[in-house]
A and B are shown apart, each in its own frame.
Chain A
Amino acid sequence: MERSNEPQGLKQLKLCHLYPDLLNLYGDIGNIIALTQRARVLGVSLERQAVSMGTVLDPEAFDIFFIGGGQDAQQTAIQGDLLKNKQGLCQAARQGKVILAVCGGYQLLGEKVGLANGSQMEGLGILDVRTESGSGRLIGDTVYQADFLQPDLDGPAVGPTDRRLLFGFENHGSRTYLQGRARPLAKVLYGYGNNGQDGTEGACWEQVYGTYSHGSFLPKNPAMTDYLIRQAYQTRYGCTLDLPAPDRLEIQYESQARAQAWQRVAAQLEHHKAGGPV
């Protein structure tokens, strides 16, 4: 993934990939690939380090943390190890470092995770969410609207070029509910989201983001990817990352994939575009 022909003097960011050997369901690695590729476009060299069982994290050493999804068995296997790093990860979150967690990883960022066998697992408690096991899996294409990606815009998004739109795919049996200080990452335009009931998707607090969206999440959402990299940069260097000239911000392939994703669900989104209730 890393390119060797990087110019000298690139600003560096460090990415910690947690439990890649255990939490790697449904193409989660695509998020790492997207972060690495977009960082390069933004003029940042992103160095990835895999961290798995038995390691005590040094939160100071990293700028972005990524936790992927896993099956109940893998979640249970890492839970104890993850809790040993609770202090470190909480500290990182408070310092404004970026944490992105998908599906099973998202659940573990919350307070409590109910498992299919009826037992309950303690999470990191970084995000104020709780997860319950539900009957029937929530599977399918998703379209969400995350207003923080383009705060100058109001109203519903009208097409795939709108950067607020997040495209993904969800596949989860559990339902997650937001409480207290947790804010939703986005609102659901198409799909189920956190629980299929309240129209919310994912959760965020400070620079901690949890989502049920994989398939993979970041490749088709370069605005989100760039946002995460810029936030991490801001926290590390205390200044805004200057963007390269617009013509160097190439997102041709990303845009095409987004346009096709939009087309697939466009019919169902018609009433949304007309401003109707979702």
Chain B
Amino acid sequence: MALLRYQLACLAGRMIYHLLRLTGRQASTLPGRVTLLIDPEALAISARGRQILCVTGTNGKTTSTSVLARLLESGLPAGSRVLTNAFGANLTSGMMTVLLQSKAGDFVVLEADEAAFARAAASLKPQLILVTNIFRDQLDRYGELDTVYKLILKGCLDAGQDTCRLVLGADDPHVAALGSSSVHTTYFGAQASECAPRHQSGNMTDAAHCPVCGSLLTYQGRSISHMGLYRCPACDFSRPEPEYRFRRQTAADTSAEAAGSLELTYCRVAGAQGPQPLIFQEQLTQLLPLRLAGLYNAYNICGAVAAALTFIPQMTLPQVRAALEQVRPSFGRLERISYGDKSVCFILVKNPTGMEQGLRLVSEAKDAGGVIFFLNNHVNDGVDISWIWDAPLEQVRLPAMPVGAGGQRRGDMALRLHYALGDSVTIAQSEDKLALVRQFLAQCKPGQCLYLLPNYTAMLQLRQELAPLLGYERRWDPKQPRPAAADPSRLTTARPAVNTHAEEKQDGKVK
């Protein structure tokens, strides 16, 4: 009976999947949602016989997931299938949708929302968990910051301490503290040179407290926000020495596309498969291709490499290189689309650190011809947008360029930007995203790039609304090559009817 129910549930899910695909939809969550509605046990049953790797944390999940999937494709024996949930569909419904397409023996890399991870880990029994970082993110969904830590800790414990390997960001105190829950822990982190002895930022809101005893941590250097070389003055908690350490070697051209290379130092270890103490064999330092700009992406790539080499210890350097050569921006993360002799670049920003890092990237890009923030407060974004005040935008020196605000909460965004950038900068506002982008593109000089910084649902809407202008497929396919250059003559075409409810909103991440 139970089996019949499961088969029925999967059948229904698959039918919906194919129907949605036929009608040109992304079908990234609805099939799984229906399957789980019919059989709540379907996640656990369908995970059996698959090799599951979970990626969770607050920032960098999507990029880390996609890089890890590429690394596995490259490092696993020929004929292995690697599946993953693209489009950021990272709730149980999205994970179920991927599992529907899997068969026994497949490798499944699942991006998991923190709360969904806590619920699903016991069912999924992953072989490996990669935790990126724990930033303040969508707090009205999770209530409190410590809650996120406890959610992830619960998931790690549920996954099974004997079999599951943890790959953890050493530079984030809360993530590092998860390591005590497993004997199979691998750490990755930045070299000291990436952690500038940044003065304690004036507002102290990125201060971090010891996850063990609650004292204020002291820092030898910080990389991003509360991440860096920390130590607790009161107890013996400190940043663990990472097995995988990186530093960036930046290319001369600092535009977002050419990112230079990643110098990775790591130790090949013996005995990595069992609980016995690790024995370091040799220390290697390698230069790896870095196709994504920004320090946070260097973290993401380092984490993915650490996870891949932990999972496949025999993976060779050429295999790693080949995979990293192919890394492309994930859905809306530094995605660049050319538009005649100009271009636009999407950077998803959905929390204070992401927003500050996004603006910093624009301020450093030599080709920046303008920047527009798009802020929505749909339930999928978190209805509370107060986090924009926590983004230390005051610390970024933005060169003179047009600045704009769009989206449902453009008024709040414009006010935030006004306070951060001062009276001399006018913030253009419009309800009409397409018109705003057109206006800003017209102000860009040839060779310049217009940077668009939306949050989650704003990104989905923006992609839909800009599709006719920029000439890409509305349905985004990570396997497809980059969109062809758009024809600027489209600038003058009439605005087509736009579906303001992007698909993800209909069958999206609603809990």
Give the interface of A toward B (CB within 8 A): 1, 3, 20-22, 24-30, 32-34, 37, 50, 52-53, 71, 73, 77, 137, 139-141, 169, 171, 214-216, 219-220, 250, 253-254, 256-261
Contacts and interface: CB of A to CB of B under 8 A. Distances in A.
B384 A215 contact: yes
Given A71-B146, A169-B384, A260 B410 contact: yes
B352 to A, nearest CB: 8
Contacts of A1: 202-203, 394
Nearest to A252: B418
Given A171-B140, A253-B427, A29 B203 contact: yes
A33 B214 contact: no
A9 B389 CA distance: 30
Given A32-B203, A77-B214, A261 B411 contact: yes
Interface string B384-408: 1111111000100000000000000
Given A20-B204, A253-B418, A256-B411, A29 B429 contact: no
Contacts of B204: 20-21, 24, 50, 52
A27 B390 contact: yes
Contacts of B427: 253
B253 interface: no
A26 to B, nearest CB: 4
B279 interface: no
A139 B419 contact: no
B67 to A, nearest CB: 32
B216 A140 contact: no
B232 to A, nearest CB: 14
Given A20-B203, A256-B429, A26 B139 contact: yes
B389 A29 contact: yes
B205 A24 contact: yes
B386 A26 contact: yes
Interface in B350-394: 383-390, 394
Given A25-B144, A139-B140, 5 more contacts: A21-B204, A29-B205, A220-B412, A253-B418, A256-B411
Contact of A27 (B383, B388, B394, B415): B388
Nearest to B147: A71
Contacts of A24: 203-205, 207, 390
Interface of B: 139-140, 143-146, 202-205, 207, 209, 214, 216, 383-390, 394, 409-412, 414-416, 418-419, 422-423, 427, 429
Contacts of A214: 386
Given A21-B207, A71-B146, A253-B427, A26 B384 contact: yes
Given A21-B216, A26-B139, A257 B205 contact: no
18 contacts: A20-B203, A21-B216, A25-B139, A26-B140, A27-B386, A30-B386, A30-B389, A33-B389, A37-B419, A50-B204, A53-B216, A73-B214, A169-B384, A219-B419, A220-B412, A254-B415, A260-B409, A260-B412
Contact of A257 (B139, B394, B411): B411
A29 B390 contact: yes
Contacts of A33: 389, 394, 419
Nearest to B144: A71
Contacts of A140: 383
Nearest to A36: B419
A101 B323 CA distance: 52
A257 B146 contact: no
A215 B385 contact: yes
4 tightest CB-CB pairs across the interface, nearest first? A30-B389, A27-B386, A27-B389, A257-B411
A253 B386 contact: no
Contact of B414 (A71, A141, A256): A256
A171 B384 contact: yes
Contacts of A141: 383
A20 B204 CA distance: 6
Contacts of B419: 33-34, 37, 219
Contacts of A73: 146, 214
Nearest to B414: A253
A92 to B, nearest CB: 22
User: Which of B384, B394, B423: most chain A Cβ within 10 A?
Assistant: B384
Nearest to B203: A29
A81 to B, nearest CB: 12
A257 B414 contact: yes
A161 to B, nearest CB: 14
Given A169-B384, A215-B385, A260 B411 contact: yes
A73 B145 CA distance: 11
Most buried by A among B386, B387, B419: B386
A256 B431 CA distance: 12
A16 B119 CA distance: 43
A21 B388 CA distance: 18
Nearest to B145: A71
A259 B384 contact: no
Nearest to B207: A21
B140 A20 contact: no
B143 A137 contact: yes
B304 to A, nearest CB: 32
Most chain B CB within a 10 A radius of its CB, from A1, A250, A257, A261 = A257
A219 B16 CA distance: 47
Contacts of B143: 137
Contacts of A254: 415
A169 B386 contact: yes
A50 B207 CA distance: 12
Contacts of A77: 214
B490 to A, nearest CB: 30
Contacts of B203: 1, 20, 24, 29, 32, 50
Nearest to A257: B411
A171 B139 CA distance: 10
A257 B384 contact: no
Contacts of A26: 139-140, 384, 386-387
A95 B394 CA distance: 34
A16 B175 CA distance: 33
Of A29, A33, A250, the most chain B CB neighbours within 10 A belong to A29
